[in-house]
Amino acid sequence: MKNLTVKVLLILNLITLAGILFRPSFVSRSVAAQPTATPVSEDNRELARLYQEDQADRTPENERLLGWKTITARDKARENRVKELYAKNGLQTGADYYHTAMVLQHADLPEDYLLAHELCVVAIGKGEQRAKSLAAKSEDRFLMEIGRPQRFGTQFVSQNNGPFRLYTMGTGVTDELRRLMDVPSLAESKAREARMNKKK
């Protein structure tokens, strides 16, 4: 039953993404001429700051200076705060949804990665193109954490400080879909695997 639920969720998400990615780009003159009734929302500054802090902590310099114990504690604080803002309907713009999803991508639980993926779907629908690659990465991370093969090929693993390996791949995603989602082709991911191991 659990596997069926996961499959249904993934299928629904892919259908939604396909509708967003392939929707017509034209707008009729009559529609374009109508004034919008909804004012344009501004990006949430706090979410933007939390996102910037999340990314800054992952620079090589800060990883070395802070250490992962400190970064993990900071990640948890950011995760708790974005969840509070999400619960209070504090996300309005595509950027808000994307920034929240990125913070949740660095959380601990499969449910967080699934929520990050769902927030990316909304962000894409609101025109936030940066969310496309994160939608693929969060889906892959969710699948990896529940012991299922990934689909896009964005996740790598290393056990006991051994070589990096592209996590188990499933089928069904083509390189064209990867291109549309702004992630590398499968061949490019395998080449990255080799480069990562040359650095070890």
Tell me, what's the pLDDT at 64? 87
Whether residue 24 has pLDDT greater than 80: no
Query: CA-CA distance, 158 to 174, in Å (whole number)?
Result: 25
Q: What is the mean pLDDT of residues 126-131?
A: 98
Q: What is the mean pLDDT of residues 144-159?
A: 96
Domain residue spans of the chain: 44-148, 149-200
Token digits of residue 139: 């889906």
Q: What is the DSSP letter of 158?
A: -
Tell me, what's the pLDDT at 38? 58
Encode pLDDT of 52-100 as tens digits.
999 999 998 988 889 989 999 999 999 999 999 999 999 999 999 999 9
Share the mean pLDDT of the chain: 87
Cβ neighbors of 151 (< 8 A, separation 6 or more) are 10, 136, 139, 140, 143, 169, 170, 172, 173
